Amino acid sequence: MSVRMIAADAGMADTSSECERLSAELSLRNCALDAAAAHFMVIDARPRPTRIVFVNRALADCHGFAPHELLGTDPSLLIAIDECREEYSRLTNAMRAGKHERAQLRSRRRDGTTFWAGIAVSAVRDATDRITHYLSVGSDITRKLEDERQREELRQRLITEMKERERMAVELRIAQKLEAVGQLAAGIAHEINTPVQYIGDSVLFLQSAVLDMERLLGSYRTALAALPDGNALSTARERISKAEQAADLDFLRGEVPKAFERTLEGVQRVTNIVRAMKEFAHPDTNEQSAADINHALETTLTVATNEYKYCARVERRLGSLPEVMCNVGELNQVFLNLIVNAAHAIQESGKDAATGVIVVSTEAADDAVRISISDNGCGIPEEHRERIFDPFFTTKEVGKGTGQGLSIARSIVERHAGHIDVQSERGVGTTFTLKLPITGRPASGEA
């Protein structure tokens, strides 16, 4: 045998051995990829549309196919494009540009069900730097996303609970302060009421005494006029006339009764304010009882008079209402806050008592009552309307508002199984509307 033939035989043997070795390595790699839990897919980028040339068993099983069934198919078969169109478009654009890209896609199984897949796609280039294939590596991340969603829900719930606890703590502190102020106001009202009663009684006595003296003075004048004329009588009449002129008796007779009327009117106003303070500051309980909402509003308007009397007049449009089961002390806080806010809004708009108007109206509405408190103040900016009931949100200057008034108001109304709504237009005014069930909140344990 020649050397050339020996060499040729050796070369054929080497080539055959190399092919067997490469085939064994390829088989080993395929087995390794099939054993992997991750999803592997190779896509031929040259045809249009692209075609799958390799998938491992984990990917095929997850989609409900045998591996050979996916070979030669369009990769979009495995994607629920309608449910992730924007993300799918972003990924395909990145693939065409040869970029390494990650994405979360809604993937489709053979039976039509879907799941979330997280994938990373890389481009494979040939010696001329032309993209020939895409390698996709991924996994089913549905459980992971669900766990993340649950963790986020739990986090949000914890944040909400913390805010609620913080709000309740603030409400408790404010309630304690209001209780202390209420007790103080009740004590002051009691202390004021006693001397005011003395003053009123004394003024009534003096008014009655002046009337009696006026009648007596009239009798003297009549008797004096009936006496026969004489020098002594003329002298006496002249002296009496001069004394009356010196005392300006005619003026006193006209003005003293008016002074008594003004004094009694002032005493009555003080009495009404004291009564309103006592009712407003009555210690609250959690018990509901039948209450006259119109009377509660009148009481609150009396207490808040100093807040609005210099900037607005109040129009009362109070309809006929049934008594409402409620905690009237808590509702008084709501009414006071809304009335004070209305007064502040009117002040901010630059109006005065001649042009500012607060309208308080009530009406029965089926099984509920509706209370509206409107003003023609500055209105609430549109960007703030969604946040006005949030705890600690305020547009007032530091030191002039805590951002708790409306938050507490809504909390109180909701505790009464009611609803509070706001309508506002910048530069026109604001209306807060409360709807309260006549029968009050359901008893504990009721639906």
- For the chain, the domains span 1-31, 36-140, 153-280, 284-447
Amino acid 187: pLDDT: 59
Backbone angles phi, psi at 369, to 5 degrees: -120, 145
Q: Which CATH superfamily is domain 36-140 in?
A: PAS domain (3.30.450.20)
Which helix (H) or strand (E) element contains residue 227?
A: none
Cα 213–Cα 218–Cα 222 angle in degrees, nearest 5: 150
Amino acid 10: pLDDT: 42
Report whether 346 contacts 352 (CB < 8 A): no
What is the mean pLDDT of each successive set of 10 residues along the chain, which is 447 residues long? Answer: 41 53 58 79 90 92 92 92 91 90 92 93 91 92 91 90 78 63 61 70 75 72 69 72 70 74 75 69 65 90 84 93 89 88 90 92 92 91 75 52 67 88 90 92 54
Counting Cα atoms < 13 Å in the Cβ hemisphere of 292 gives 9
Instruction: Enter the tokens of residue 134.
Output: 């895409």
Distances in whole angstroms, Cα of residue 23 to Cα of each of 19, 34, 124: 6, 16, 21
CATH topology of domain 284-447: Heat Shock Protein 90 (3.30.565)
